[in-house]
Structure 1
Amino acid sequence: MESYVFPGNIDERISSIGAADIPYMRTDEFSAINLESSGILLDLIHCKGGNTIIYTGSGTGAMTAIVENYVSTKKKALAINGGSFGQRWVDLCRYYGIPVVDFKVEFTHEPDYERLAATVADEKPDVLLCQHHETSSGVLYDLERISGICRENGTSLVADVISSFLAEPLDMDGLGIDICVTSTQKGLNIPPGLSIVFLSKRLEGYRFAHRGFYWDFETNLDNLRRGQTPFSPATTIYLQLNARLRQLREEGGEQANILRVRHNAEVFREECRKYGWEMPAENPSFAVTAIQTGDDERRRIFKGLAERFDTSIMPCGKPGMYRISHMGLSSDEQTRLLAERIHILETELQ
């Protein structure tokens, strides 16, 4: 199947690791692999002297860990809510009884940064939670402006970079971000199953809360210092992660991957203009392109691609809107063929 959902088409050398025998994980060899992975990850996101926690779990699991361990130590949070994943920050705070300002943003739009600055100055939250890229709409937020607002108000910044890491430039130290979170099935372009929390060096010695057994920062950090996990890991995906990180380093690091993703996006968007599709994201990330087609809630284009062309794309919350990931491996020819097939199916709807 041609895949334009996350993680997209995966390098066969990485995929083949998933079919190999599963090694025992409580060994020096497995520890060395995880310590190497942690070091490469910190380099890729520019978090000098920081720490990673690599969880077996989804991105929402890692977001939960951040709320349990860090956000719960604060008096008030503010969450930028421009889609499904901004809403998730709000829901997590409310679930754990943390006061949260729900800063709503119109779907497919960027935040009004002046209104955001005024709200932060007025509400005085201890921590601001946001997405870098709101995956549900395809909108890229201006993290530099958001970090400036946080600096002016002494507000800690936590960023979900799950779908922007390795697709957009990201300097965690330069932006003054205290915590970032990502997952394996997006820019890392390997199977889902692991999520990574990045902790800035500024949080060294911070007294985190202990509100969840599995996600406890202290327990996980204690184990990860020796390259291990407190509970059984998704061993094969840890091996795939290490292989992919080595590959990224050999291919030129994050910049080379960002350029690859950007090229894929530009090729597809040229086809979008050719076929007259609206791309509603106000400031689109190169990670994904959202298009508005003439389809309806029956998702006939989605079904037609799967049934007739063995191809998958991602539906969106709005009828007729679809998202196409540019993070997987695909040639220009494959990308243009995808657009042609969407056009064929859309024409048949008329």
Structure 2
Amino acid sequence: MEKQDLTKKSYDELRPPQRLLLGAGPSNVDPRVLKAFISPMVGHLDPFFIKTMDETVELLRYAFKTKNHITMPISGTGSAGMESAICNLVERGDEVVVCVKGFFGERIKEMIERCGGTPITIEAEWGKIIEKEDVERALSESKAEVVALVHAETSTGVIQPLKEISRITHQYGALLLVDAVTSLGGCELDVDEYGIDLCYSASQKCLNCPPGLAPITASEKAMEKIRNRKTKVQSWYLDLSEIEKYWIENNRVYHHTAPILLIYAMREALRLLYEEGLESRWRRHLRNA
């Protein structure tokens, strides 16, 4: 094969076109977020960056409407958030009730299988919601300790009611795992009021931030299950009990090099959300949906 001679080729300055992005995500990014994104680089243990991390965690708690201690952005896209949630909660042989009503419910099911879990699948026609009676039936007929579902299914736009499913899930002593990739910041979501035990999202949708971060929040019950696992979490990189030592603990322990500029951007995107007000942001999305 002929070797390519790059000395004969020139590369122009990158000039992406201006687009109005009207899909589910990625979404357009506010100029303030872009400005934060090109701020000066510092080290990942710099005191300024530690303060930025702490403020980002506070703002994420506001966005999720939670007091959960373990609330932080994972380095990776929404699928990394999904994989982290599942590989932390699911061990080989575990039964998991998984609600499938679209493309991303199917992805959750596949990740459960990859972790060695056994999905107890509840299916609804695409465009329809999962009925609470089906969840109760699945829990009563299995030994599942987790119920997993998508709040707002990107592939169909359907929002799944959560309160009754949460009540039934906890009635059977199980944990509720919720995919809020499309819904965080875009429609009503109250992690504490709904009793969600583990919830993850993504930066590039209703948070209007560049792709590459997956906000996640976990209840004490969820973290207790994770810390009492019989086996190590399948992924070292996505192990919440390790990541929390870098993001949450007072004496920070290096886990991996954080995407510093992305976290600047997320902090500013969340600051915009805070300034607008969460309920006002929900109403704006509802009006324009």
TM-score by length of 1: 0.71
Q: Which residue of 1 aligns with 2:141?
A: 122
Q: Which residue of 2 aligns with 1:299?
A: none
Q: Which residue of 2 aligns with 1:113?
A: 132
**Residue by residue, what CA displacement relative to the aligned partner does 1:180-223 show, whole Å, maximum 9, x if unpaired?**
00110112111100001101133454415422111111210111
* Counterpart code for 2:281: N
Give, in angstroms, the shift of residue 257 of structure 1: 0.9
2:195 is the alignment partner of 1:195: no
* Secondary structure of residue in 1 paired with 2:91: helix
* Counterpart code for 1:25: H
Q: Which residue of 1 aligns with 2:11?
A: none
Give, in angstroms, the shift of residue 156 of structure 1: 0.9
2:193 is the alignment partner of 1:174: yes
* Higher mean displacement: 237-246 or 67-76: 67-76
Contact 1:48 1:201 in 2 (8 A): no
Contact 2:92 2:115 in 1 (8 A): no
* Counterpart code for 1:218: S
**Residue by residue, what CA displacement relative to the aligned partner does 1:265-300 show, whole Å, maximum 9, x if unpaired?**
1xxxxxxxxxxxxxxxxxxxxxxxxxxxxxxxxxxx
* Secondary structure of residue in 1 paired with 2:116: coil
2:277 is the alignment partner of 1:259: no
Q: Distance in 2 between matches of 1:145 and 1:85?
A: 21
* Secondary structure of residue in 2 paired with 1:139: coil
Q: Which residue of 2 aligns with 1:26?
A: 45
Q: Which residue of 2 aligns with 1:234?
A: 259
Q: Which residue of 1 aligns with 2:7?
A: none
Q: Distance in 2 between matches of 1:228 and 1:39?
A: 20
- Give the fraction of aligned pairs with identical amino acids, expressed as a percent: 25
Contact 1:74 1:127 in 2 (8 A): no
Aligned counterpart for 1:214 among listed residues 233, 237, 243: 237
TM-score by length of 2: 0.85
Q: Distance in 2 between matches of 1:119 and 1:159?
A: 17
Q: Distance in 2 between matches of 1:120 and 1:182?
A: 25
Aligned CA distance change for structure 1 residues 170 and 13 (closer, same or farther; 3 Å): same
Q: Which consecutive residues of structure 2, in runs of 5 or more, have no partner in the other structure?
A: 1-18
Please give the root-mean-square deviation of Cα atoms over the aligned residues, in Å.
Answer: 1.9
* Counterpart code for 1:2: L
Give, in angstroms, the shift of residue 247 of structure 1: 2.0
Q: Distance in 2 between matches of 1:150 and 1:39?
A: 28
Q: Which residue of 1 aligns with 2:80?
A: 61
- Alignment coverage as a number of residue pairs: 264
Q: Which residue of 2 aligns with 1:7?
A: 26
* Counterpart code for 2:274: R
* Counterpart code for 1:246: R
